Chains A and B, each alone.
Chain A
Amino acid sequence: GAGVSQSPRYKVAKRGQDVALRCDPISGHVSLFWYQQALGQGPEFLTYFQNEAQLDKSGLPSDRFFAERPEGSVSTLKIQRTQQEDSAVYLCASSLAQGSNTGELFFGEGSRLTVL
């Protein structure tokens, strides 16, 4: 594909519902990142994958958040029992770099989640 693709672009959930957000990275990109961006804030790191291995999940705010990348390509961010404070734009980024440094991140357009 031409770039990182995310779906859905917009999601409205009732409090308590589960949601799943999908990210399709640039083909061949080993590294994949999820960020959460609240209104008026910069992107906050959630988790990082290198191929299918989740190497850092220190930014996940609670055990309601879960991410996977089972075949080292497409990734899904799942939020269980959504709360109003989960309302944000969820950004996915991929990178060709691995190992010693992150390198340039290529971002998707984001998935805007609104929890009512």
Chain B
Amino acid sequence: AQRVTQPEKLLSVFKGAPVELKCNYSYSGSPELFWYVQYSRQRLQLLLRHISRESIKGFTADLNKGETSFHLKKPFAQEEDSAMYYCALSPLGGGFKTIFGAGTRLFVKA
């Protein structure tokens, strides 16, 4: 069965500090992994996907198949990064169901 686990409900860091939002997944096949973000009063939107291998707003995420993890990292957090972050998984090569984790609220303090 597919499962996405985000162990932290809330993560609070100071501005300028590094941040890492953890995501572990369970899936027997080849997954596509995503990070979605929801800023205050905005709709859920894609932040990045592992296939693109790009850095968005300073965030990066590396898919580690050995550890079945897809942690989201940023070296220097900004106040505007405060939001709800969801890790998500979709089966590659056939399958339509994107499964989401429970989310981590990131709070960046001034």
Contacts and interface: CB of A to CB of B under 8 A. Distances in A.
Interface size on B, as a range, is: 20 to 34
B59 to A, nearest CB: 16
The binding surface of chain A is classed by DSSP as loop
A83 to B, nearest CB: 23
Q: Could you say which interface size class chain A belongs to?
A: 20 to 34
Interface stretch (A15-23, A48-56, A70-78): A48-56
A100 B44 contact: no
Given A48-B97, A56-B96, A101-B95, A42 B86 contact: yes
A91 B96 contact: no
Contact of B100 (A43, A48, A108): A43
Interface of B: 4, 6, 9, 32, 34, 36, 43-46, 49, 86, 90-103
